[in-house]
Structure 1
Amino acid sequence: MTRRHLISVDDLGDDDLHWIVRRGAEFAAGRHTGEEPLRDDVVGILFRKTSTRTRTAFAAGALRLGARIVTYGPDDLQENTGETVEDTAAVLSGMLDVLVARTAGPEAELRAYAAQHRMAVINAMSAEEHPTQALADLSTLTTRFGRLDGLRVLYVGEGNNTASALTLALSRYHDTQLHLRTPPGYGVAQRYLDRAAINAKRTGAVVEQRHDADDLPEVDVVYTTRWQTTGTVKPTPDWRTSFAPFQVDTAMMAACPGAVFMHDLPAHRGEEVTAEVLDGPSSIAFEQAEHKYHSARAVLQWCAGRS
């Protein structure tokens, strides 16, 4: 049995990416009910930062798939007393089959956990990338539209770890469009745009970033995230002034007629999105949140080598 790590979307081949997204949509449709492919596995859940959706999705998903779980809080491991990540991983890999970890730190820390081959490691959010969010988003869109090829997405707001993962994932599908509208100084890092551009050369996808909210394109989806990303602090004290034009309100949605609205939650009504949009008929944000549970099951099954 091969354990597989998921630290970045780029860790997935095309077939693996498509399998996880498709399986997440199948779980959402009620397929595979009662199957327990992880019955003999133990899954560790390590969260050093707050989480509602991701932590619950992976814990519930592991239980539904038949696994047992061990949970760790931010102060539970001996890393707090100086034990190295490598030593911790060597110990845990002799007891766990899968480790789901949210460190909110650099990706390199998760790579250190993954420097062994007995225990699969899943990135439940690092400072740079939130891969499981992107996979849940693509499963949501698959369920909603019945396809991903050719979909057009407008992402508005900070180019954070959610945006980075979405950039890498959506560009892997044919003829998709991702229009990133981010405040000056808060865009998706160039290294993610460069990696997406490599994908786009073979898929025909379009990924473009602008730092204004003018002349919005015709799209199928408008997507935003909270302005104050979990575990981060803005470097400029007047950052809200730069972000204000990027609020998703009824006027912005009217400029994108027919588009659905997505948000990875938690949301702050009146900041990145108005209540009228988040709670309105175009919003699928809470359907998207439920998909984190369905997608988590798909990720767990793939990483545990049970696919």
Structure 2
Amino acid sequence: MANDGSTRHLISLDDLDDGTLRDIVERGAAHARRAGGPASTASSRPAGTPGATLAGTVVGIYFRRTSTRTRTAFTSGALRLGAGVIAYGPGDLQLNTGESSDDTGRVLSGMLDVLVARTADDPTEMRVWARQHRMAVVNAMSADEHPTQALADLTTLTLRFGSVDGLRVLYVGEGNNTASALTRGLSRYPGVHLELRTPPGYGLAPEVHRRAAATAARGAVVRERHDLAELPKDVDVVYTTRWQTTGTSKPDADWREVFAPFQVTAEVMALAPRAVFMHDLPAHRGEEVSAEVLDGPTAIAFDQAENKMYSAMAVLEWCRGTY
């Protein structure tokens, strides 16, 4: 396995500088355009198939939690770029019999070029695996952040609007790992306005706000409230996620009553007539979003899901330094 010093890890969007963040997003959008993917601007045209930029690369896919989109996106994306793939289920590695994370990472790094992992725990274990520089480690979702989801979202926005700069986004729902990553990503684009409306007691962690403020681009604004009064009407995007995040539980037994007002309905969308609707999926119609919205003409959630594959391709190429 070659080690040319170009291996890079993606544990958090905070690991990326502004230029790298934009490069990965633009690369994902380029893959989508080349394939004739969804949600492209009118000027986008298919331009053939991707090259085998990952030929000879072996990608490990290790998911301890359920996944449809992210696992399939990285598997399909790796195969399309010429890589081989080894998939591990939650009970497959000797971590279950007491092997240390450090030893596991050392072993895998001698055989894999990239490890894409979903633990749904804090990212400490992934940081342990990333101590070496032979195998790239990609966070496919941890408890506090879903960085590859945000990259897919930014790719979708780029395809839909031509640029993320200056967009106005309304997020409605829990301040979960998707919201955390979305905040970290959007705040890095000039002029972006992100307004989050989260249920009381279920907002973003203060550290996410602090980090977004510290890295915010010129003119970028992030605000959070815990009600649905005076919703902004001049937004380009309304975004939500399901109420029950993968691998988590709510501390409050009556949490559904707290979340109930934070549903994206046709009435909410009518307040922002030019907005598209986004959802990271899976969705629960009648909970966080009405069927009328999710299955309606303004929704681009399933385009967003497909774009996750093109974004995953860009992440894998960046990790290996092949573009």
What's the TM-score, normalizing by structure 2?
A: 0.94
Aligned counterparts of 1:195 and 1:162: Cα–Cα separation in 2: 15
Partner of 1:169: 185
Partner of 2:229: 214
Partner of 2:30: 26
- The one of 140, 146, 150 equivalent to 1:130 is 146
Aligned counterparts of 2:159 and 2:204: Cα–Cα separation in 1: 27
Deviation at 1:203, TM superposition (A): 2.1
Aligned 8 A contact 2:10 2:138 in 1: yes
Aligned counterparts of 1:74 and 1:289: Cα–Cα separation in 2: 23
SS at match of 1:29: helix
**AA at the equivalent of 1:107:** P
**AA at the equivalent of 1:128:** D
Aligned 8 A contact 2:31 2:50 in 1: no
Deviation at 1:232, TM superposition (A): 0.5
Q: What are the equivalent positions in structure 2 for 1:133-212 lying under 5 Å apart? A: 133-200=149-216, 202-212=217-227
**AA at the equivalent of 1:97:** D
Partner of 1:68: 84
SS at match of 2:260: helix
Number of residue pairs aligned between Structure 1 and Structure 2: 306
Q: Which runs of 5+ in 1 are unaligned?
A: none
Q: 1:14 and 2:18 equivalent?
A: yes
Deviation at 1:32, TM superposition (A): 6.3
Q: What are the equivalent positions in structure 2 for 1:72-83 lying under 5 Å apart? A: 72-83=88-99
Aligned 8 A contact 1:216 1:256 in 2: no
Partner of 1:260: 276
Partner of 1:52: 68
Partner of 1:119: 135
What's the TM-score, normalizing by structure 1?
A: 0.98
Aligned counterparts of 1:194 and 1:17: Cα–Cα separation in 2: 19
Root-mean-square deviation (Å): 0.8
Aligned counterparts of 1:262 and 1:43: Cα–Cα separation in 2: 29
Aligned 8 A contact 2:60 2:112 in 1: yes
Deviation at 1:45, TM superposition (A): 0.3
Partner of 1:3: 7
Q: What are the equivalent positions in structure 2 for 1:269-288 lying under 5 Å apart? A: 269-288=285-304
Partner of 1:105: 121
Deviations, residues 34-57 of structure 1 (Å, cap 9, x unaligned): 301100110000000000000000
Aligned 8 A contact 1:167 1:207 in 2: yes
Partner of 1:40: 56
Q: Which runs of 5+ in 2 are unaligned?
A: 35-46
Aligned 8 A contact 1:136 1:292 in 2: yes
Aligned counterparts of 2:131 and 2:288: Cα–Cα separation in 1: 38
Deviation at 1:198, TM superposition (A): 1.2
Partner of 1:227: 243
Aligned counterparts of 2:204 and 2:72: Cα–Cα separation in 1: 28
- Give the % identical residues: 68
Aligned counterparts of 1:77 and 1:46: Cα–Cα separation in 2: 9
Deviations, residues 70-126 of structure 1 (Å, cap 9, x unaligned): 110000000000001100000000000000000111111111111111000000000
